Copies of this chain bind each other. A is one copy, B any other.
Amino acid sequence: MSSSKLQKEIENLSKQARSASYKLATLSLEQRNKALGEIASLLNKNRAQILEENKNDIKTAKKNRLSAAFTDRLTLTDKYIDSMIDGVKQIIDLDDPLNRILEERTLKNGLLLKKVSVPLGVILMIFESRPNVTIDAASLCLKSGNAVILRGGSDALYSNKILAGIIKTALEKIRIHKDSVQLVSTTDREAVNLLLEQEKYIDVVIPRGGYGLIKAIAEHSKIPVIKHYQGICHTYVDDEADLKLAEEVCFNAKCSRPAVCNAMECLVVNEKIADKFLPSMIRRYISAGVKIFGDEKTLAVAENYNKINNKINTADELVVERAKQDHYDTEFLDLIIAVKVVDSLQEAIDFINTHSTKHSEAIISKNQKSIKQFMDNIDASAVFANTSTRFNDGFEFGLGAEIGISTDKLHARGPVGLKELTTYKYLVFGDGQIRA
């Protein structure tokens, strides 16, 4: 496609989304839920066709020798379609995020002021290979009255097209503006750059994918971006911790699902209990295949333990590698952990605020004053006491489905659910008041 033709196409698509957004903003909850119900029903009816189209993507991925893990993420199955349908149904059951009255008061001059929740308008979702994002994102946007432009990875194009087609059919049936959900079907990479210039028609960009993708979009976009950066999450084990509880929580935070953003990447231990706590903790990690990088003091604890213990049982050796500075700024997303021994709660706080990505941080302590000091001073979307960082999640927090976990501080922080896809406007009712 010529560049001016592409430019025109992207501009048109964005303009159409803006038009559709005005209609969408005034639909009743019933109409929005009806559309979602229709999507769920059509997903069920069109299983065979969805799986067929998905096969085309898998074939191409194999031809392009993409990794098994990649192909795996791309692959849809009947069970996967079930879970997409469940996801849509769950969104139907959630409370309406729109038309909530956030504030209401009568001013001295008699003006009635209402602050009400309204859709953001037009959302641009840019995502990588998982085709289910097409359904998740479209459903959350529809429920919250937002028009959405979907730009999926080119590797999932056939899958995304059939899923977007199903959404369009559902919208038509319920007589909702067909441009409420649009898929950018060109694989031209320039399309993304052009989309990021449509600040007149698009209100917010939500990229889902690796750090590189999000960073590139944030740097190029003229439209505000809700960013889901890395989670370099810490757990600090205080000298007044219940050490058994600490071990269970730290094991869960690292090992229950190491590839996700709320998994713990760094264990911070108070030096006063390091000798007592670390050997058992490290053994537990090693037994689960976790590779450990420790600082000077961690190495000393391990060495000391090994020296005493080796006389009894050489199979039980604590293997800890020396941590490089980089390890404390790395999101491993794997069975790897960095360990740091600190001499005080304040050192733990300073260390975490320096290295954290402001995602999820935890303290294990029985001392309420220490917990308060940690929670007050740590700058993160969620701070946990005596529990696992893995709980930073929209479902777990009771917010329902989420589109991701924001590491931003403006607008949405932490889980981005339906409420976070709304903004507000002030409605002011008068009877002729004028300003002096």
Contact = CB atoms under 8 A, between A and B. Distances in A.
Interface in A393-424: 396-398, 408-411, 413-414, 423-424
Given A379-B22, A411-B410, A248 B434 contact: yes
Contacts of A121: 379, 409
Interface residues of A, number: 64
Contact of A248 (B382, B410, B432): B432
Given A390-B435, A430-B386, A377 B25 contact: yes
B433 A388 contact: yes
A434 B249 contact: yes
Interface of A: 22, 25-26, 105, 107, 111, 113, 120-121, 203-204, 218-219, 222, 224, 226, 242, 245, 248-249, 251-252, 256, 353, 371, 375-377, 379-388, 390-392, 396-398, 408-411, 413-414, 423-436
Contacts of A423: 409-410, 413
Nearest to A114: B375
Contacts of A381: 425-426
Contact of A431 (B256, B383, B386): B386
Contact of A426 (B113, B224, B377, B383): B383
A383 B425 contact: yes
B435 A256 contact: yes
A435 to B, nearest CB: 4
A172 to B, nearest CB: 23
Contacts of A218: 222
Nearest to A227: B224
Q: Give the copy number.
A: 2
Given A256-B434, A427-B375, A429-B386, A224 B224 contact: yes
A183 to B, nearest CB: 24
Given A111-B387, A386-B429, A387-B429, 14 more contacts: A252-B435, A375-B427, A382-B425, A383-B427, A383-B428, A384-B428, A386-B430, A387-B428, A390-B435, A391-B430, A392-B426, A410-B411, A413-B424, A413-B425
A377 B409 contact: no
Nearest to A387: B430
B413 A410 contact: no
Nearest to A223: B410
Nearest to A23: B377
A26 B376 contact: yes
7 contacts: A113-B397, A120-B410, A203-B409, A226-B410, A380-B425, A386-B431, A387-B433
B385 A429 contact: yes
Contacts of A414: 425-426
Given A224-B224, A398-B107, A426-B392, A25 B248 contact: no
A391 B224 contact: no
A18 to B, nearest CB: 9
